[in-house]
Chains A and B, each alone.
Chain A
């Protein structure tokens, strides 16, 4: 049972335009979400997070929106740059280890930003 779903394996956008990456979840008890970015041959790096009590969090070109009624969150990148080309993972708290526990990851969306 996949609790965090990223249904788009890939996304291609033009440089300067907006990139929108989507994530759906099934567990209404998640109290926060994170987005990670991963370049080839590197480990994931933390990008941005959002608490379940908020509907928006912004950090520079990156904004995450949370729609709790739809159990949906999205990551907006504006404007998109070629260096944003990477795999983006949506993540939520896992059930192992309580507050020190793991993260549940979606399958990822590969973003390609074309010059």
Chain B
């Protein structure tokens, strides 16, 4: 049981390049999320998927697109990377049930855009 996995762990891009960050969870969770964390900041929501087949914008969606490929996988795409997108990206998931919105996080992808 690997939990939430993310690939790659590190990536360096040049301005204007594109890339896709991959996320997969093996806990049969319905909801999945993409956050970014910048130095001295808390995590901020980029996009989320409440269930397979649905995606919605979060607090900071500009410059990103997502795909909920199936129940396990939720990818984040940067079409034209900008230096402002240099950040650490975390994917998370949670089950539908439960009183509290306890989310399980992957190890993160550290992205640098030059």
Contact = CB atoms under 8 A, between A and B. Distances in A.
Interface of A: 4, 9, 32, 34, 41-46, 49, 51, 89, 93-94, 96-97, 99-108
Contacts of B48: 96-97, 100-102
B101 A93 contact: yes
Contact of B105 (A4, A43, A94, A108): A43
Contacts of B56: 96-97
Interface string B82-114: 000000001010101001111111111000000
B33 interface: yes
Interface residues of B, number: 32
B40 A107 contact: yes
Contacts of B96: 100
20 contacts: A9-B40, A32-B99, A34-B100, A43-B92, A43-B106, A43-B107, A43-B108, A44-B43, A46-B102, A49-B100, A89-B42, A96-B56, A96-B58, A100-B50, A100-B51, A100-B94, A102-B35, A103-B45, A103-B101, A108-B42
A46 B101 contact: no
List the 10 closest A-B pairs by CB distance, nearest first.
A43-B105, A105-B42, A102-B45, A100-B50, A105-B43, A49-B100, A100-B31, A44-B105, A46-B102, A107-B42
Contacts of B24: none
B2 interface: no
Contacts of A108: 42
B90 A94 contact: no
Contacts of A46: 102-104
Given A34-B100, A102-B33, A45 B105 contact: yes
Given A32-B99, A49-B100, A96-B56, A43 B41 contact: no
B30 A100 contact: yes
